[in-house]
Every structure is written in C-alpha cells, then in structure tokens.
Amino acid sequence: MFSERSETKQPLKVPRSGLPDISFQVIICQQIAWEDLEELQNHLIRQVEDNSSSFFVLVSEPKSTFTFGRNASQDDLLWSPSQLKENGVELAKVSRGGKWTYHGPGQIVIYPIVNLKSLGFSAKEARRFVETLREAVLDCCKDWQLTVRSGNDPFGVFIGEQKLVSFGLSFENGISSHGLSVCFSPQQRFFSGIRPCGHSESVFTSLQEHLPNLTWHDAASALTNSIKKSFKIR
C-alpha cells in the first residue's frame, strides 16, 4: 500500500494552529452488507466534499466478504466458488489500492472520512496521515497493556509476528476513504481462503485472544477516541 521506509522515532505531530474547528462524528453499523457499507461511505464522502470541516469515522462489523483492490491477483483467491458459498462469503471489488483481504463478523472496520487539508495535511501527505492513524491504534493498544509493534511489509500493527490490524486506504481530491480493520475475534479460518495482501505466510491474532473481557463496543469506542486524540480534534 505504501513504499517502505524506516520507522518513525518521534511521536507524529499534527499541526492545528489556525485551522477551523472540526465536526467529529462517529457512525456505528453492525451486520451491514458490503454494498450498503460502500453506499454509506460514498454518502459521507459527498458530505465532506460539501463541508470540508466534517470528519466522519465510520465503524462497522460487515457481513463476510473478500474484498480486492486495484492490485489484486486472482491467484491470491484460494477458495473455490463452492467453498465461498459453503462459508457464506461474498466477493467485492473496492476502490482502494492493495490486494485481497477479508472483512466480516468479529472485526472492527474503521473508515476515517475527512479532507486532509482540514487537519493540516497537504494533499501529498497521505503517508503521514496513515502513519498518524496507525499511531492512534498503537496508543490504544498500549493503553490496553498489549505489546504491539508497527510493520511496513505488510503495513499494519502486530503482536509479535501475528497481525492484529490491517490498513487499506484510498485518497481522492484530498479526501480519505476506506481505512483499517482490527481483528476483534479470531479470523484465521476465513483468511485461509486468500493470500492476504499477497502474503501467504500471514498469521493473524485478535483482541479477544489477549483481552477476553473486552467487548466489541468498548474496543470500538476506545479506538475512535484515540483517533480523535491523535489528530488533535477538540
């Protein structure tokens, strides 16, 4: 999704001086069909186009779907049509970059939909925006006393060698869409149906495996609050 570069050593700073107040709104949708999620996202993008001070955080737990971006290869889809039907998984092409991934029950999928300029980023600072988003997730995980690390190949958040959070964003006319996916409950069975991001060795972990008392809603709330804090939204 992004070119490789060395890890940031200092906390990322988001400039706020002289910027307008941001309207920060969280929208939560569980058990939503992928096409309905896409439609809702497009609706929110249009609202940001009309009002650049709006910052929507769309949080969802979609129905089971394998999604593939512009760089996806059909060879990375490992399940046959009969296996897809047996497991109740749909296929959906999405407008983001990247390859294959899975979204479904037991995930916290978060889309930050915002005009980058309203947060003090230039239209060319998509990488820094995504790194700030990742820092927000890392900070939240550290508050939960999890030992996490960031990685760039593939880009994400890891516990040891196991991936906890995946990222796949798109930017058009300076507005972000799509976002990140946190494994809340174990997802490995479904990820075995694809090569996630083209990596056959990908092994996933989940929040419930480390924090069995954490609820989906509490986790989603903590993550969105950390995003708000990291982007210095008043």
Summarised one tens digit per residue, pLDDT across range 118-130 is 999 998 899 999 9
Answer whether 80's CB lies under 8 Å from 49's CB: no
Average model confidence (pLDDT) across the chain: 89
Among the ranges given (75-79, 133-137, 184-188, 196-200), the one the predictor scored with the smallest mean pLDDT: 196-200
What's the whole-model pTM score? Answer: 0.87
- pLDDT given for residue 70 in this prediction: 81
157: β partners: 150, 165
Say yes or no to pLDDT of 156 above 80.
yes
Sorted by sequence, the CB contacts under 8 Å of residue 214 that are 6+ apart come out as: 144, 207, 208
Give 23-230's CATH code, choosing from 3.30.930.10, 1.10.4160.10, 3.30.70.1400, 3.40.50.261: 3.30.930.10
User: Which position has the higher pLDDT, 234 or 172?
Assistant: 172
Of 215, 223, 68, the C-alpha closest to 137 is 223
- pLDDT given for residue 6 in this prediction: 31
SS3 content of the chain, % helix, strand, coil (to 5): 30, 30, 35
Structural domain boundaries of the chain? 23-230
- pLDDT given for residue 19 in this prediction: 58
Q: What is the mean pLDDT of residues 199-217?
A: 88
Cis peptide before 154 (omega within 30 of 0): yes
Say yes or no to pLDDT of 8 above 50.
no
Secondary structure (3-state) at 42: helix
Among the ranges given (5-19, 21-35, 162-176, 191-205), the one the predictor scored with the smallest mean pLDDT: 5-19
